[in-house]
Each structure stands twice: as structure tokens, then as C-alpha cells.
Structure 1
Amino acid sequence: MSVAKAILVLTILVSSYSASDDVALARATNVFGINLLRELSSVKPRQNIVFSPNSISVEVAMVYAGAAGQCAKETSRVLGHIAVGLLDRDTVLAAYKKRINDTSDILMMANAVLVRNTSSVLDTYKKTLQEVFAARFKSVDFLAYGYRMAAEINGWMCEKTEGRVEKGVPDGMPMNTVVYVANAASLATLPWISQFEPNNTRILPFFNHGIELTRKEVMTATANIRHAKLPDLESEAIELLGTDLRRSMVIVLPDSITGLSKLRATFNAQNIDDIEAELRSQRVNLRLPKFKINNRHNLVPTLRRLGINCVFGIKPDLSKMSCDKNLYVSEIAHVAVMTVNEEGA
């Protein structure tokens, strides 16, 4: 009997950056993304998790752009900037601007910052949101017009993600909201170079977390695919390349049917480079479940555990956003969607 096991999926932008600041930002985002995965998995160990480290890095960087003093240092440290030597604010923002421009055709992303209308926001910050992050800014009376603003932002996010994310913010945002940062992300369509034959898709047993037996649609193929044995991770990996040759999906399969939790807990940013170095083209009998995962994350608790506290109300310093000394971030929300089928992701 063929049995499919739980898997860890990494979607990678294959294109390499030439400028040192871009390389540094990519490394910082890898570290930040792995830390996010570890934290999100620890809170919901039995839940399928999808998020975009790139998009969340951009989203939190919008807060960094408005922060100063200790708040800026905390945010920069958690984003990984300090560890890779990105210490100058203007350099960091320039690197984010370039990244967003370079990936706009392959990562559909919508960013918005909503601020209560009783707080005046600096024109320089609004300009940064627009020119660096391609983000929307709105001054909002959350008490009177929260529902209307949610509908407007959701319509815009739906359009930016080509209908894949229909609701980036909840219909009823809390009336006491001060600063609400929202992000919605979905990969642009990624067709496989070697597509699966739909007639070969089968209903097969699948173990969620190695203990819950279900039956799933499983795609099957025998093809030349880049594959690697990963003894240090007690896993193996395959890479499905997209037709644009800029993106690929790397799938890591634990050797043990119950090994996903350990893999999530021990996986680190260096493993990404190690896997890439080990992948070799070979004939592979592949069975891959079809899936669609849609996750909404309120990232404030996660970011607090990672070390960002100042901007959420403990002596906030958002003086590059506003002269209001009591301004703080109420919520950082992220919605991500991933679909994998015979044609692509």
C-alpha cells in the first residue's frame, strides 16, 4: 500500500542577487522566516502552516520605517538586519524597495497601514510607504467606519492577489485599534516544467503528523527530478522547478512518518543552502498530495516572542511615523494562500 507522509514545503525564488545589500537582506529574511516557522509551529503543532517570509519581512519593515530608538533596534534585530550588517536605515529601505520591484511579477503582495484618524501621520512616512513598499495608507475612524474601511481594503487586496486572498482584514476591526498593519500574499502562478498527468492522480492514504490516517488526492509521476538525501536532517528533498526558471518548490520529506515536528524544530537557514548544494538530477518515483492551504496570522504574539515589544505599547517610539508619542501598533495581520496541483503552484 502506498502511504504519503507529512511534508515540509519551501518555495524558493531561484534568482540570485548581485548587490551585497540584496544578498544580506535575503540572508536576513531566511533567518527571520525560519524563526517564524519555529514559533508558529510551536503554537499550532498539528496545523498546516503557510506564510510568506518575504511578505512578512516587508510588512514588519513598514513598522521599522516608522520606528526610532529602541523600537527601531528591536525590530531591526528580529528582522535579521543587524546580524547581516544592515545597520543604516536608508540602506535597508533601498534594499526592500529593490526586492519588491524585482519580485513584483512572481509574488503578488498587498500591504496596508491603517492609523486612527485622531493621530496625525508624517508626510515623510506616507511617502516611504508608497515609494518603498507600494503600500496603501489610510487614516481611519475605526469606531464609525471600521466595517467600510475593511471592505475597501479587502477589495483592493483581492484585486492585487488576483482573487486568491478575498479577506485580508476582518470585517469588524476592534474599535480601539490604533495602528493596523495588514499584508496579503500569494505566489503568482508557477507552472511546473514537468507537469503531473491528471489521469495518474490517485486517492491514497495520507498520514497527518504521522498519526492521523486520511485519504487524499495524490499526484504521481516518474521523472528526472533534482533529489537529495539529507542524513543530518533525517530527511530527503526534491525540487520542482517552475517554467520561468526563477522559482522552484523544494519539498522536504522526513524519513520517519512522525518526523515532521522534529524537522520543523531543528530546521535552520543554513539548511536551505545545504539542500541546494546537495540536489542532483535523478530518476524519481514521486507521490505528492494535492493541497490548498489558506492561513490568517495575527503576528503580534509571535513577534513579541521573537523580541519585538516596544512598538506594541511598551514605551513606543514611532516618531518617524507620527509626532503622537502614544501611538503604538495594535495588530500586524498576514494572510497567505498556497495551492499545489498537477499544473503547478
Structure 2
Amino acid sequence: ELLSGSLEDVKLLLLSVVYMRGEWEDIFDEKDTREHNFHAKDNTKQVNMMYLNTGLSYVESSNLESQVLSLPYKDSPLSFLVFLPKASQTVDGLISSLSSDNIKEAVDSMTIRDVELRLPKFKIEKEIDLIPMLKELGAEEVFTTQADMSGFTNEDLYVNKALQKVILEVDEKGTTAAATTAIDAAFTSLRYPQKFTADHPFVYMIYDRVSAMPLFVGVMMDPTM
């Protein structure tokens, strides 16, 4: 589906393929999933909202003006991070503030809290033309007839397509992405759990706690789209 039309004349093609299937360390119970309002940019929609009440890594980031939550994957150094803007912040403002330092500071500041989490189920599917981004990074010549491919072929070749298809699905069992480090912290016992209701646009990422690097980043504007 990524490539339409005949490949008869194609001699060099650049594709990016990534696949990940991650199971939550704490699986959501499907019986607790309910319809819930999601306040998108222009209107309010009914979405399937998952529910979980358990101990999770959590912090309120003053730099990002957001609640930040980490959902660990089972037997993995990866986590699914959710950055939920507070009333004083917009999702655009949050995106502008998401430097590597601010992300790392938020993750390093997390403590285990009793959290009452509501998170929408969603699936995104998008095809991305990588050529504009690669050109911005300085890879210009490879996309022209002046491309020097002498390192691996004597033919006059250049790249005229560079495509990536992204699929990300989040449900009660975990995350499927095409394109849990143990935390030694004391459990903070609260009389009331910390509420985390992702009912408005938020930023999410698949984050590697070992390398302190985001592997996959997205913005959820509308779970029904």
C-alpha cells in the first residue's frame, strides 16, 4: 500500500520501516473503557476512554506547564509518555517547550504516584514524504541527477522517492507502532489518587529510558480522526 503504481522503472528506492508491539506492564481492563468527552480544537467528541487506577510514574512539570505520565511496557526499557497541557498551556506551546533537556528533566523528576488515568484509545495512520526533511538536514545531491552513487553502483542513479508510513495503535493491551526500566522509588500513598484525564489535545512519545531518547513522537488532536 505504501507504493502505488508499477515499480518496473524503479532502480533505487529509500524506505523506512519500523515495527513495535509493546504490551503494557499494567493492562487496562476492557470492561472499564467508557465513552467520554474529548475536547478537540474546534468541538467536543465522544471517544472510547480507557481507565486504569494504579501506581505510575508521574510529575507536574512547571517548565512544560503540563502533567506528565509514564506508562511502562512489560519487560522493556521503553515507556509511553503522555504530556497533558494544563489550563495555562496550549498544545502548541507545549510542543515549542519540548526540548531534550525539558523532556529528560520531567522524566528524571517523576515519582511513583497512585494515579487514576483516563486515556483515549486511538489509531493513527499517516504516509510521510521524507525528502523535504532529508534536504533540510543537508542531503540534497542524492535526490538530483548529480548524485554520486559510485560507492555501490556504476549506474547513474538518484533517489526520487523516500517514504515512511507510520501506524500507531494504542489500546487496552498496549501499543502497536510501525515506524520498562524498573524505577527504584518509594510509592507515595495518597488519600485520593492523582487524576490524569487526557480529554484534550496532548503530546505522546515512546521513550527509551536507557538512552534517554524519544523513539516516536506524536500529537493527539482528535482520537476519532
The residue that corresponds to 2:38 in the other structure is: 206
Alignment of 1:150-169 (within 5 A): 167=1, 169=2
Aligned CA-pair RMSD? 2.2
| CA distance 1:245–1:172, change in 2 (3 Å) | same
Structure 2 letter corresponding to 1:193:
E
CA-CA distance at 1:173 after TM superposition:
4.9
Once residues 243 and 256 of structure 1 are traced to their aligned partners in structure 2, the CA distance between those partners, rounded to angstroms, is: 32
Q: Any idea what the Cα deviations from partners look like across 1:45-80, whole Å, max 9, x if unmatched? A: xxxxxxxxxxxxxxxxxxxxxxxxxxxxxxxxxxxx
Structure 2 letter corresponding to 1:192:
W
CA-CA distance at 1:289 after TM superposition:
0.2
1:274 aligns to what SS in structure 2?
Answer: helix
Once residues 193 and 267 of structure 1 are traced to their aligned partners in structure 2, the CA distance between those partners, rounded to angstroms, is: 26
The residue that corresponds to 1:244 in the other structure is: 75
Output the TM-score relative to the length of structure 2.
Answer: 0.69
Structure 2 letter corresponding to 1:332:
A
Structure 2 letter corresponding to 1:339:
E
Runs of at least 5 residues in structure 2 that lack an aligned partner in the other structure: 176-225
Q: Any idea what the Cα deviations from partners look like across 1:295-345, whole Å, max 9, x if unmatched? A: 211111222233321211173222223223x42111111112211111111
Alignment of 1:174-213 (within 5 A): 177-188=10-21, 190-208=22-40, 210-213=41-44
Of 155, 167, 172, 2:5 maps to 172
Does structure 2 retain, via aligned residues, the 8 Å contact 1:183–1:333?
yes
Q: Any idea what the Cα deviations from partners look like across 1:120-164, whole Å, max 9, x if unmatched? A: xxxxxxxxxxxxxxxxxxxxxxxxxxxxxxxxxxxxxxxxxxxxx
Structure 1 letter corresponding to 2:15:
A
Does structure 2 retain, via aligned residues, the 8 Å contact 1:211–1:258?
no
| CA distance 1:228–1:309, change in 2 (3 Å) | same
1:233 aligns to what SS in structure 2?
Answer: coil
| CA distance 1:173–1:256, change in 2 (3 Å) | farther
Does structure 2 retain, via aligned residues, the 8 Å contact 1:207–1:213?
yes
Does structure 2 retain, via aligned residues, the 8 Å contact 1:218–1:289?
yes
The residue that corresponds to 1:278 in the other structure is: 109
The residue that corresponds to 2:97 in the other structure is: 266
Once residues 137 and 60 of structure 2 are traced to their aligned partners in structure 1, the CA distance between those partners, rounded to angstroms, is: 31
Q: Any idea what the Cα deviations from partners look like across 1:239-258, whole Å, max 9, x if unmatched? A: 11111132211111111487
1:265 aligns to what SS in structure 2?
Answer: helix
Of 44, 47, 50, 1:216 maps to 47
Does structure 2 retain, via aligned residues, the 8 Å contact 1:186–1:336?
no
Q: How many residues align?
A: 175
Q: Any idea what the Cα deviations from partners look like across 1:23-60, whole Å, max 9, x if unmatched? A: xxxxxxxxxxxxxxxxxxxxxxxxxxxxxxxxxxxxxx
| CA distance 1:257–1:233, change in 2 (3 Å) | closer
Output the TM-score relative to the length of structure 1.
Answer: 0.47
| Alignment partner of 1:339 is 2:134 | no
Runs of at least 5 residues in structure 1 that lack an aligned partner in the other structure: 1-166
Does structure 1 retain, via aligned residues, the 8 Å contact 2:65–2:89?
no
2:17 aligns to what SS in structure 1?
Answer: strand
Structure 2 letter corresponding to 1:310:
E
| CA distance 1:286–1:298, change in 2 (3 Å) | same
Q: Which has the higher strand share?
A: 2
Once residues 3 and 89 of structure 2 are traced to their aligned partners in structure 1, the CA distance between those partners, rounded to angstroms, is: 35
Q: Which has the higher helix share?
A: 1
Q: Any idea what the Cα deviations from partners look like across 1:60-111, whole Å, max 9, x if unmatched? A: xxxxxxxxxxxxxxxxxxxxxxxxxxxxxxxxxxxxxxxxxxxxxxxxxxxx
